[in-house]
Chains A and B, each alone.
Chain A
């Protein structure tokens, strides 16, 4: 019983193979253009207005939607749904539980995973989106539920548009596998 429990920690299989050079370059290009667009809008245009578009979890999403385009986790349903749902949960957690930020942060992430599972929108960066809603201070928390629209949904839609344009340029790529 105990032996079996520890044996499960040894792993049973091996890492998937390394991708080819072309794949690596396409992933690089997708991230460059996707994050580049959002970052340029953020720093070049929005900074003066006090608004923002670039949040950390979009960097995590770039790994999936430009680097693992076949993954179910990287499909539009998961990408958009996972971020928006997690953003709403993160804001709710802050509103209900501040100033107990440790509890708000904890429940924001735990509930985000649970609800993403239940709605078939599991997208790992969503957990970060929920966390950011709690831990980022007044610049984010003052937005309230608008956080889910801007920066979250807006940033996601820009990156999604880049994913559609760039991934489908690559001869061996197609995106998405499914929309909804």
Chain B
């Protein structure tokens, strides 16, 4: 009842919203006096439902949905090679690992965009706009840079047993699209991207 009296009208799943009339109907169907108001029952239902959803999604972990076939680069990989590898694999970000296979950072399209002068909206169309206003290739300033110069570091990583729901919240909060999965020593095990989470949701929904 922390949000009393401004109770949110929709719970975590708007489609499952329960109405007080439903509760009153159910209470009428149960013989005997129930020592609870419809409003309190609704609150209990809302919290219990959210709890059940949380429990169900907690069952699936990073290890179960991560991509293990991951392209990783070294801090001393030239960015031209990094970009080529990302293009070849059709991914928008790769982890950067050191010689011991420990994750030291992540390079994504956003890191490229911000380093080649795309300031505010770090997306492809901002790049096109910038390109059309200048004479040469906008990527030239970073031609000699290495992965280590461009990467976002430290990387936002998750453990293999991190629940999918927590990863979704993490990606959303940090405004990132993927998180490397690491063992306790920080070594790369795989990668969970937004696409992996969407895929996992679809499989579970259809089963």
Taking Cβ atoms with an 8 Å cutoff, the residues of A that contact B are: 4, 7-8, 12-17, 19-20, 22-23, 67-74, 172-173
Contacts and interface: CB of A to CB of B under 8 A. Distances in A.
A7 B5 CA distance: 8
Between B7, B24, B27, B33, the greatest number of chain A beta carbons within 10 A of the residue's beta carbon is seen for B33
B144 interface: no
B33 A68 contact: yes
Chain B contact residues: helix, strand, loop or mixed: loop
Interface in B1-36: 4-5, 7, 20, 24, 27-28, 31-36
Interface of B: 4-5, 7, 20, 24, 27-28, 31-40, 42
Contacts of A22: 31
A23 B7 CA distance: 33
Nearest to A63: B33
A8 B33 contact: no
Chain A contact residues: helix, strand, loop or mixed: loop
B31 A172 contact: yes
B35 A70 contact: yes
Nearest to A4: B5
Contact of B37 (A8, A15, A69, A71): A15
B37 A13 contact: yes
A7 B35 CA distance: 24
A23 B33 contact: yes
Contacts of B37: 13-16
Contact of A23 (B32, B36, B42): B32
Contacts of A70: 32-35
Contacts of B35: 68, 70-74
Between B32, B35, B38, the greatest number of chain A beta carbons within 10 A of the residue's beta carbon is seen for B32
Contacts of B34: 16, 70
Contacts of B42: 13
Contact of A19 (B7, B20, B33, B36): B33
Given A12-B5, A13-B20, A17-B27, A67 B33 contact: yes
B33 A172 contact: no
Given A15-B37, A16-B33, 11 more contacts: A12-B4, A12-B7, A12-B39, A13-B38, A13-B42, A17-B27, A20-B31, A22-B31, A71-B33, A72-B35, A173-B31
A23 B24 contact: no
13 contacts: A4-B5, A7-B5, A12-B5, A13-B40, A13-B42, A14-B37, A14-B39, A16-B37, A19-B33, A67-B33, A70-B32, A70-B35, A173-B31
A172 B36 CA distance: 19
